Amino acid sequence: MTTPTSTKPDTRPAAAAAPGRSAPRRWAPGAGVLVAVALLMFVPAATDSFYTFVATRMLLLGLLATAFNAVFGFGGMSSLGHAAFFGIGGYAVGIGVTRWDWSPGTVLAAALAAGALAGAVFGLACLRVRGIYLLLLTLALAQALFGLAFYQTEWTGGDNGIPNIPRDGLPAAVREGDGYYRLTLVVVVLCVALLWMYQRSPLGMSVVGTRESESRMSAAGYRPGALRTVAFAVSGAFSAVAGVLEVYLQGSVSTASMSWQISADVLVYAILGGARHFFGPFLGAVAVTGLEVWVSTYTDRWMTVLGVVYVVTALFLADGVLGRAASLLRLARTKSGAGSGTSAEART
Amino acid sequence: MLTWLTHTVNGLAYGSLLFLVASGLTITFGLLRTVNLAHGAFYLLGGYLAYDLASDGTDYWIALALAVLAAAAMGTVVQRAFLHYVAGRELPQIVLTLGIAYIIGDQILANYGGDPVAPQTPPGLEGPVTIGDWTFPKFRLVMIGVAIAVAVFAGALLRFTPTGAKVRAAVDDEEIARAVGIRVPLIFLLVFGFGTGLAAFAGVWGGAFTSLSPDSGFDMLLLALIVVVVGGLGSIGGALLAAFAVGLIDQYGKVWFPEWALFTLYASVAALLAVRPRGLFGKAVTR
Amino acid sequence: MTTTTTTTPEYAIAATSLTVRFGAFKATDDVTLGVPVGERRALIGPNGAGKSTLFNLLGGQLRPTEGRVSLLGHDVTRLPAHRRSRLGLARTFQLTNLLAELTVRQNVELTLAARSKAAWVFWRRLGAVDGLAERALDVLARWDLDGSADRPVRELAYGQQRVLEIALAMCGDPEVLLLDEPTAGLSPADARRLTGLVADLPRTVTVVLIEHDMEVAFALADRVSVLQAGRIIADGTPDEVSTDKRVLEAYLGEATSA
């Protein structure tokens, strides 16, 4: 059996935050997030158009990673097929806008529905498989969709994709550059907030329960298979939204949006940031995207650097940056007196 | 009629190439429980090294041997220096080998450029074979023979040597294999080197078969993964049959329904995995 | 079909000719067993006798090769575990089986939510739905676990984990409770405490328990069934069973022939 992270002590999900805190403390994080979002609104004012573009990509890739983690970190299922959902969102824009002149609202609804449907299919197909077989099965499913995108040229434009997708449907204020960044920010914040609510809701928490023990959950009256399917559907729907944002940003869609390398990248974002923490994957996406921009100013060999990032992540960051930080924090607290220390723990 | 024969033998020859890549992958999985996603990179490494050496005037067969040895050596280094530290943990292994694949692929891109190169056909194997009215490239026929020979050889190793017995034990029952202490590092090194060497050999000949480009490493990896999955992870005989099947489906698919070929291939693999995770020839799991 | 013992509703849980094969090996061999409503039944037998396998058949974790299982008059042979749970069956596992990374409170809240409208709610916090937080606090207080409510379960002492298992099993007000070695691995003091908790369970709940400690089994049970090599070899009150020749042979035979 695989679970996404190793046996290191810090594996408490973010959704496990203790309730029953006093009112000011409970509102503090919410207020902090609001302030942060308000500040992020001013990013375009502080940078040029290139960095605004980068920031937009960070946001939408962060959303993709957060959605991915509904299956990966919280569901305990290692998917290597999330490019499919991202691509579905992308082609919803490309095909919907160029063929039927869909409005952005229609595109979004279609992408959510198609992403959820595809996610449910993935979830159902994966009912009987675990570990390495789950990785391979999700990869095969995503590649099957890639095959469609590649060869159904009449619909998808094949390898060249669909270029010059008009953005006329978007209100003029948010069509380009800074405005589009702000639109992306609002959509991403909304989606991430919904995912946050879902993740700590009874439904989301029971998916986490399934990660911990399927037999315990079914003995309690839950259907683990249904919960796994729900996790995939939720994840697929929001991943598709990220794909929609990407394609409106780029103005074109191609098979690159469905390439398995996206699936691998998002997996690494999640591990690198810390899959057991709600914001870990988002952090990972921002970090790797930022690194790419920074490295690219010095060298053309970004893929080599990315490879090194993968290797380092695998060898040293199984719990991710946030996982590391949390265990350091706990260690410090233990040393300073209180705390219960770490516990040796047998995993199932 | 003869066209069909050509398509069929072409499919088998392509399947043979896939088998050469997949055999190393499946053996590595059998013993190490690692799906080595850097396998395609070793394919590239072998192909480009031999191509480079041969175009500098080295004798073809010496170039081939050097390329295979270099890839095998590099494989053992990767296993000892990196994979060794994530033994038994699938997810880090996948991320790690992908990272190594990126690095090797990117370095090849930097050195040789992104355009496909066409390595030479092995000397002595050029030209066609003519049987009655039917002509077919000699090289491709030899490829089929080599694949079968490798399958028999690897199969015999697995069946008749102590190392092979351990590999089979590990494939049959991972838990027990671990419990009796089969995870001997030296065997790991040898198996891993053997696997990457095979991949390099496949790269040298596969380059001559289909041409070589930095992208082709991952294309081969994905097809080889299909072969390994369908054949049952860890099964040599299964991999050979699956490789032939995939080669034929690929060939016929390109002729009959090109728009659906890739989808059909992956969708059937997905369906198989969903129903029989251990593949057609693997041990059925009872869950 | 009208009056077979198993379909008579006075049996809370019953097995008829239950057999399960793993290859050629019969882990459960033609077991017929009926536990009347409200009874305390102990299952004893040497190691490998098939006690946990029988529990997995009753609980729905395993499907039988032959035979039937009925729960409160319903034929549940083909029903998966979660459906049996909804009919009123709860169980604990031989090896502690909890949601280890979640807090004690979350374990309870999730278990309570399974049987409430809350299960499919996705927009509100787990504890905020359907009074789950308050109900969970009640449960925790009742089982004396409120001190560690916000600790991850994996940090609890083993004895507390076993208590939590029973607390979770009782969350859904089950009519039938299967306890798989509730006191295994506990210190004598913890074992005594747990035995007391089981003894104090309301009489409306039918309890079947696997128990290694004869003293505990005989103290708790109204009747005892003895399993050996997948078969039931004796069945009776604690007094009857403790003097049964075959039972003595089964235990002594194991000791001498081994």
**Which residues of chain A lie closer than 8 angstroms to B275, CB-CB?**
128
Q: How far is A195 from chain C (nearest CA, A)?
A: 9
Give the span between the Cα atoms of B136 and B127, in whole angstroms: 8
Instruction: Judge: C98–A206 Cβ closer than 8 Å, yes or no.
Output: no
DSSP structural state of residue C103: B
Residue C68 belongs to what H/E stretch?
A: strand C66-71
How does pLDDT run along chain C (258 residues), one tens digit per residue? 444 444 446 789 999 999 998 888 888 889 999 999 999 999 988 888 889 899 999 999 999 999 999 999 899 999 999 999 999 999 999 888 999 999 999 999 999 998 888 888 888 888 888 888 899 999 999 888 988 999 999 999 988 999 999 999 998 889 999 999 888 888 888 888 888 888 888 988 999 999 888 888 888 999 999 988 889 988 888 888 888 888 777 776 654 443
Q: C: neighbours with 3+ CB pairs under 8 Å?
A: A
pLDDT at position C119 = 82
In tens, the pLDDT along B197-237 reads 989 998 988 888 888 888 888 888 888 888 888 888 777 88
Which residue is it, tokens 């190594």? Answer: B100
Tell whether A338 lies on the interface with C, counting CB pairs under 8 A. Answer: no
Among A residues 22-61, those touching chain B with beta carbons less than 8 Å apart: none
pLDDT at position B178 = 61
Of the candidates C102, B278, B99, B220, the one whose C-alpha atom is nearest the C-alpha of residue A131 is: B278
In tens, the pLDDT along A46-76 reads 888 899 999 999 999 999 999 999 999 999 9
pLDDT at position C1 = 41
Q: What mean pLDDT is predicted for residues B18-33?
A: 82
Full DSSP string of chain B: -HHHHHHHHHHHHHHHHHHHHHHHHHHHHHHH----TTHHHHHHHHHHHHHHHHHTT--HHHHHHHHHHHHHHHHHHHHHHTGGGGTT-HHHHHHHHHHHHHHHHHHHHHHH-SS-B-PPPPTT--SEEEETTEEEEHHHHHHHHHHHHHHHHHHHHHHHSHHHHHHHHHHH-HHHHHHTT---HHHHHHHHHHHHHHHHHHHHHHHHHH-B-TTHHHHHHHHHHHHHHHH-TT-HHHHHHHHHHHHHHHHHHHHH-GGGHHHHHHHHHHHHHHH-TT-SSSPPP--
What's the angle, vertex CA B192, arms to CA B188 and CA B197, rounded to 5? 150
Instruction: Judge: A309–B99 Cβ closer than 8 Å, yes or no.
Output: yes
Among A residues 111-130, those touching chain B with beta carbons less than 8 Å apart: 125-129
Average pLDDT, chain A: 86
Instruction: Judge: C99–A197 Cβ closer than 8 Å, yes or no.
Output: no
Tell whether A200 lies on the interface with C, counting CB pairs under 8 A. Answer: yes
Tell whether B253 lies on the interface with A, counting CB pairs under 8 A. Answer: no
Residue A305 belongs to what H/E stretch?
A: helix A302-316
Residue A264 contacts residue A80 (beta carbons within 8 Å): yes
Paired residues of B117 in beta bridges? B212
Among B residues 85-124, those touching chain A with beta carbons less than 8 Å apart: 85-86, 89-96, 98-107, 109-110
Q: What mean pLDDT is predicted for residues B58-75?
A: 90
Question: How many of the other CB atoms lie within 10 Å of CB of C59?
Answer: 27
What's the angle, vertex CA B195, arms to CA B191 and CA B196, rounded to 5? 120
In tens, the pLDDT along A180-204 reads 999 999 999 999 999 999 999 999 9
pLDDT at position A346 = 33
Give the span between the Cα atoms of B265 and B287, in whole angstroms: 26
Question: Counting beta carbons within 10 angstroms of the beta carbon of residue B8, is it exposed (0 to 12), middle (13 to 18) or buried (19 or more)?
Answer: middle
Among A residues 174-213, those touching chain B with beta carbons less than 8 Å apart: none
Q: How far is C17 from chain A (nearest CA, A)?
A: 24
Give the span between the Cα atoms of C105 and C119, in whole angstroms: 16
Distances (CA, A) of A108 to A96, A187, A247, B233: 10, 10, 12, 40
Among A residues 245-274, those touching chain B with beta carbons less than 8 Å apart: 260, 264, 267-268, 271
Residue B83 contacts residue B192 (beta carbons within 8 Å): yes
Q: B: neighbours with 3+ CB pairs under 8 Å?
A: A
Instruction: Judge: B261–A125 Cβ closer than 8 Å, yes or no.
Output: no
Whole-model pTM above 0.80? yes
pLDDT at position B148 = 92
Residue C70 belongs to what H/E stretch?
A: strand C66-71
pLDDT at position B43 = 92
Q: How far is C143 from chain A (nearest CA, A)?
A: 18
Full DSSP string of A50-74: HHHHHHHHHHHHHHHHHHHHHHTTT
Q: Which domains does chain C have, with CATH numbers?
A: 5-97+173-257 (3.40.50.300)
Among A residues 64-93, those touching chain B with beta carbons less than 8 Å apart: 78, 80
Q: Which of A136, A258, A305 to mutate to test the interface with B (most CBs of B within 10 A)?
A: A136
In tens, the pLDDT along C157-198 reads 988 999 999 999 998 889 999 999 888 888 888 888 888 888
Task: Return the domain boundaries, chain B.
Answer: 2-275
pLDDT at position C9 = 62
pLDDT at B167 over 80: no
Tell whether B246 lies on the interface with A, counting CB pairs under 8 A. Answer: no
Residue A69 contacts residue A63 (beta carbons within 8 Å): no
Q: Which of A7, A222, A227, A348 to mutate to test the interface with C (most CBs of C within 10 A)?
A: A222
Which of A200, A206, A219 minimises the CB distance to C91? A219
**Which residues of chain A fall below pLDDT 50?**
1-21, 338-348
Distances (CA, A) of C142 to B221, C67, C138, C153: 58, 39, 6, 18
Which of B35, B259, B274 minimises the CB distance to A151? B259
Q: Is the ipTM of this complex over 0.85?
A: yes
Tell whether A139 lies on the interface with B, counting CB pairs under 8 A. Answer: yes
Q: Which two tokens stand for residue B157?
A: 């190793």
Q: How far is A270 from chain C (nearest CA, A)?
A: 19
pLDDT at B119 over 80: yes
Instruction: Judge: A303–B86 Cβ closer than 8 Å, yes or no.
Output: no
